[in-house]
Structure 1
Amino acid sequence: MFLWLLYLVIVLGMALFRLKRRRLHRLASKIPGPDDELPFIGVAHKFTGTTEDILNSLQKYSYEAIKKNGILRGWIGHILYFVVVDPIDLEVVLKNCLEKDDLHRFLKNAIGNGGIYAPLSVWRRRRKIMVPAFSPKIVETFIEIFSDQSEKLVSMLDECAGKGDVTMGPFLCRYTLDSVCETTMGIKLNAQNNPDNRFLRALKNILNFFCKRIFHLWLQPEWLYKFFHQYTEEKNYLKEMHDFVDGVIQKKREEIKKEKYLNSKVYRNFDLYNYKTRSFLDLLIEFSGGENGYNDLELREEIMTLTIAGTDTSAVAIGYTLKLLAMYPKVQDKLYQELVDVFGNSDRPIDKEDLLKLKYLERVVKESLRLFPPVPFIIRKILEDISLPSGRTLPAGSGVAVSIWGLHRDPKYWGPDAEVFDPDRFLPERFNVKHACSYMPFSSGPRNCLGYQYALMSMKTALSAIVRRYKIVGEVESGPVPHIKSKIDVMMKAVDDYKISLKKRVIEVDVFKKTVI
């Protein structure tokens, strides 16, 4: 009798739940779903495999969305998502749906209300402070740091050149972490000299736990997660990272108080030409109001956000570009010739003026980001019904998975060769996408990535240093469409962790013929 009563209560509860959400179900039914959707669980069964399997499913649904006029419905249990790839619809979504999805809550333990994932009420205030900190004039002052760290990177790679395959992932991650820590906190972490750096190890493990919680439903409830060993490990790693950042903040506050530069007329007037030696931490303290601005917790949240966001994204983007250069030697040769034209046989570090001359490098990086965006999907909440230009309505209570992967490969906007690796599609005379949102490796709208100029500078500096010194060798792609096995691990990453070979270059310039031997 008890079991029948329990069964009745469950059935009635489900019926009431469905009744309350009848509008959501009605609007969802007007948008096509995937062919492999099952009753009750929807497509949840497609997200239980490896991180490679999960990415393959996400890519498959992106292609289905392209075929079904830019949008696809998908249920994960009782949770409703829409995969959207149409740039016209996405412009409306990204301008109006500003709250991040609840899946991001797992990283909240690490970054709190840091700008990227902060709730809207917090984000608006902090965005106003962050915008001037990422002004081009300030970002340009970091070129020397990127250059120094890039030179250290190529010196580390020197021991691997000519010795078979090199797994570039760890090298690139240490380069970006050192660059991020110096520009963000004003400290030299020296991770490149210490592969077992504790801060780097903690960061990598935190991101790994975050990814597991997203795609493993049994790890999502907080009360249940506490019974798993990852919970204790995560707490320990978080404490290690937080203690480190808190210590840096305290030292910076003491330094500021000692030097009393907050009372300086130069800084009160925000003369952007005087920020050459100042980190983002300096700037956030200054721009938020000094002693009356951000408290220590708010500073830690923003510094943690910048560190986590800046380390993995740039490393991943550099890694994919190196893989593509190995797969397409003619592209690499053309890029190398441009570097020789700019640097000659000089071994000098890169500077700001050099970056402006490296037009082909810019196109290579942009095409790499188009085909292999480090963040291939962005998820937003829909708090109110939203009508799209295409005529569809997305109901309140659902979520939108913005597929940058699918958006960048849609032949409707990129032509029949959308899957082809062709840097010259970004030539001024050829780059003519029909809609601004057709290309957005750093998102779009009010909550786009503020650090895109910073990331591009870091990427181009490292790539120029590597390609100048080494020939990138790997398996040559037989056709124009590159295939790199990838997985979703917070970011999209190559399964082989960017395995290539390096061959030292010998530069001999014939001053009469102006050719490179």
Structure 2
Amino acid sequence: MLGVSVRTPVQDSMRLARQLGPVFRRKAFGKEVVFVWGARLAAELADEARFAKHVGLGVANLRPVAGDGLFTAYNHEPNWQLAHDILAPGFSREAMAGYHPLMLDAARQLMARWDAEEAAGRAVDVPGDMTKLTLETIARTGFGHDFGSFERVRPHPFVTAMVGTLTHAQRRNVVPPALAPLLMRGAERRNAAHMAYLNRTVDEVVAARRAADASGARGDLLDRMLEVAHPETGERLADRNIRRQVITFLVAGHETTSGALSFALHYLARHPEVRARARQEVDEVWGDAEAPAYEQVAKLRYVRRVLDESLRLWPTAPGFAREARHDTVLGGTHPMRRGAWALVLAVMLHRDPEAWGPRADAFDPDRFAPAAVRSRPPHVFKPFGTGARACIGRQFALHEATLVLALLLRRYDLAPEPGYRLRVAERLTLMPQGLRLRLARRGT
């Protein structure tokens, strides 16, 4: 859109939001977008009786590869409810406890890599290594697949294809439609190749599972997609939709969590008093155990506050769109026709002084202490979206990220690279750019 950087449209919108207030409209190239970030207005948009998820902007640009997967399905498409009902038990407490050992194994691979880097006196590439970790975690727990990320010097081609597809989806939003055929011809070809690679990779994962001995059933997400029928209708997921769901989980299941971990590690490295307090909690909760039991992770309440505060300042999914179910008036003054939509700018909602106080841009995990949470109005913290279409894997991501932060805090002291200033890369999701940390093994 006019005046928006192709590379940083979210951060450009943040600057405009500070100038224009809690609701503003931008129009360019025949597109019009209403941005909302005020806490009161966002609370209205969270009302499921009046508003529903809107699939638009960059999310719609992912439909050629993700189709009617859980994240990109339109509300009227029946496969969303079918897949949700079949897959929801895959995120139950019992299922999560089963994933815990596999999460630990992936984290141990990361720490072996970081041990080697620390011994060699090298800083670690935080976003790169968090991406490897979270890709391996969702691939192994959900689909029984090992990408071998930690044996690679370069990112796995799946990651390259995924980043390319996400970046392309974002950039299509800010290129004039009339000029897109000229300006994006090469980019469209690369994107087609990226999507073909994602499809091919997932087809191979599914084919390998189907070829396996049925006695080796794992009960993971892929088994549920292939074997489980809807409990009421008996309907099953079609092959094409299974591919779309696997792509959705592999991409969404690791891209946002890797960003959340990277931002949290940045803030931990910058705030030694927070780091010390979090580490003390880990030592007290785990005692002498080498690794925690599943139940112990939930007891790391301060570590979780660090994660939540990082997600507040930089929600890796920085916004979500809501559309009116019927004609209505937002905030008593902004009429919306049925089907009209607005983009909730979560990265600014999370900084609204009305909800978060005058120092809303400051990092302070105690914002998520129980009393502080109770004192705030509802619907002001939305890192996973809202309503019926909120992220199905939220508890999976939070357990994984809390576990990993605790393991790293217990093993290493973290220090920022001299002179580093936080820069944020945008590819539909947000990620610290060029973040490297120096490590020192504790007790060595």
Query: Structure 2 length as normaliser, TM-score?
Result: 0.89
Shift of 1:491: 0.7
Q: Residue 46 of structure 1: SS of its match in structure 2?
A: coil
Match of 1:112 in 2: 67
Q: Residue 158 of structure 1: SS of its match in structure 2?
A: helix
Shift of 1:345: 5.0
Stretch of structure 1 that moved more, 93-102 or 325-334: 93-102
Instruction: Tell me, yes or no, if the aligned pair for 1:80 and 1:398 is still in contact at 8 Å.
Output: no
Shift of 1:400: 1.0
Name the CA shift for 1:226/1:133 in 2 (closer, same or farther; >3 Å).
farther
Name the CA shift for 1:81/1:143 in 2 (closer, same or farther; >3 Å).
same
Correspondence 1:233 to 2:190: yes
CA distance in 1, matches of 2:178, 2:195: 18
Post-superposition Cα deviations, 1:388-446, rounded to whole Å, max 9, x if no partner, equal: 24442234564311011111111111122222211112111232243220111111112
Match of 1:453 in 2: 395
Tell me the C-alpha RMSD between the 2 structures. 2.7
Name the CA shift for 1:202/1:220 in 2 (closer, same or farther; >3 Å).
farther
Match of 1:205 in 2: 164
Instruction: Tell me, yes or no, if the aligned pair for 2:2 and 2:29 is still in contact at 8 Å.
Output: no
Give the paired residue count: 435
Post-superposition Cα deviations, 1:80-122, rounded to whole Å, max 9, x if no partner, equal: 2211123343243242132311542321122121111101122
Post-superposition Cα deviations, 1:457-482, rounded to whole Å, max 9, x if no partner, equal: 111121112111111101699xxxx9
Match of 1:335 among 261, 278, 291: 278
Name the CA shift for 1:151/1:219 in 2 (closer, same or farther; >3 Å).
farther
Match of 2:268 in 1: 325
Instruction: Tell me, yes or no, if the aligned pair for 2:324 and 2:336 is still in contact at 8 Å.
Output: yes
Stretch of structure 1 that moved more, 414-423 or 172-181: 414-423
Name the CA shift for 1:56/1:244 in 2 (closer, same or farther; >3 Å).
closer
CA distance in 2, matches of 1:288, 1:226: 46
Shift of 1:50: 5.0
Larger Rg: 1
CA distance in 2, matches of 1:483, 1:448: 32
Match of 1:185 among 143, 155, 160: 143
**Which amino acid letter does the alignment assign opposite residue 505 of structure 1?**
R
Match of 2:441 in 1: 504
Name the CA shift for 1:177/1:195 in 2 (closer, same or farther; >3 Å).
farther
Q: Residue 217 of structure 1: SS of its match in structure 2?
A: coil
Name the CA shift for 1:413/1:396 in 2 (closer, same or farther; >3 Å).
same
Match of 2:364 in 1: 422
Match of 1:316 in 2: 259
Match of 2:27 in 1: 75
CA distance in 2, matches of 1:260, 1:432: 46
**Which amino acid letter does the alignment assign opposite residue 143 of structure 1?**
H
Gaps of at least 5 residues in structure 2 are none
**Which amino acid letter does the alignment assign opposite residue 354 of structure 1?**
Q
CA distance in 2, matches of 1:444, 1:495: 27
Stretch of structure 1 that moved more, 82-91 or 454-463: 82-91
Matches within 5 A, 1:94-493: 94=46, 95=48, 96-122=51-77, 123-161=80-118, 163-196=121-154, 197-217=156-176, 224=181, 228-255=185-212, 258-259=214-215, 277-289=218-230, 293-344=236-287, 346=289, 348-382=290-324, 384-395=326-337, 398-474=340-416, 484-493=422-431
Shift of 1:312: 0.8
Shift of 1:483: 7.2
**Which amino acid letter does the alignment assign opposite residue 165 of structure 2?**
I
Name the CA shift for 1:61/1:288 in 2 (closer, same or farther; >3 Å).
farther
CA distance in 2, matches of 1:169, 1:178: 14
Stretch of structure 1 that moved more, 224-233 or 98-107: 224-233
**Which amino acid letter does the alignment assign opposite residue 141 of structure 1?**
G
Stretch of structure 1 that moved more, 54-63 or 377-386: 377-386
Shift of 1:359: 1.5
Shift of 1:505: 1.1
CA distance in 1, matches of 2:354, 2:344: 17
**Which amino acid letter does the alignment assign opposite residue 132 of structure 1?**
P
Instruction: Tell me, yes or no, if the aligned pair for 2:321 and 2:344 is still in contact at 8 Å.
Output: yes
CA distance in 1, matches of 2:56, 2:246: 22
Q: Which runs of 4+ in 1 moved over 6 A?
A: none
Post-superposition Cα deviations, 1:273-323, rounded to whole Å, max 9, x if no partner, equal: xxxx42211122343359961121110010100111011100000000000
Instruction: Tell me, yes or no, if the aligned pair for 1:80 and 1:399 is still in contact at 8 Å.
Output: no
Shift of 1:384: 4.7
Post-superposition Cα deviations, 1:112-136, rounded to whole Å, max 9, x if no partner, equal: 2111110112233333333333223
Instruction: Tell me, yes or no, if the aligned pair for 2:143 and 2:220 is still in contact at 8 Å.
Output: yes
CA distance in 1, matches of 2:362, 2:122: 28
Q: Residue 24 of structure 2: SS of its match in structure 1?
A: strand
Match of 1:84 among 32, 36, 61: 36
**Which amino acid letter does the alignment assign opposite residue 56 of structure 1?**
Q
CA distance in 1, matches of 2:421, 2:438: 18
Name the CA shift for 1:227/1:369 in 2 (closer, same or farther; >3 Å).
closer
CA distance in 2, matches of 1:390, 1:475: 49
Instruction: Tell me, yes or no, if the aligned pair for 2:324 and 2:337 is still in contact at 8 Å.
Output: yes
CA distance in 2, matches of 1:492, 1:409: 16
CA distance in 1, matches of 2:338, 2:163: 35
Name the CA shift for 1:152/1:218 in 2 (closer, same or farther; >3 Å).
same
CA distance in 1, matches of 2:320, 2:251: 16
Instruction: Tell me, yes or no, if the aligned pair for 2:97 and 2:294 is still in contact at 8 Å.
Output: yes
**Which amino acid letter does the alignment assign opposite residue 257 of structure 2?**
S
CA distance in 2, matches of 1:475, 1:247: 41
CA distance in 2, matches of 1:176, 1:406: 26
**Which amino acid letter does the alignment assign opposite residue 293 of structure 1?**
R
Name the CA shift for 1:216/1:417 in 2 (closer, same or farther; >3 Å).
same
CA distance in 2, matches of 1:505, 1:438: 38
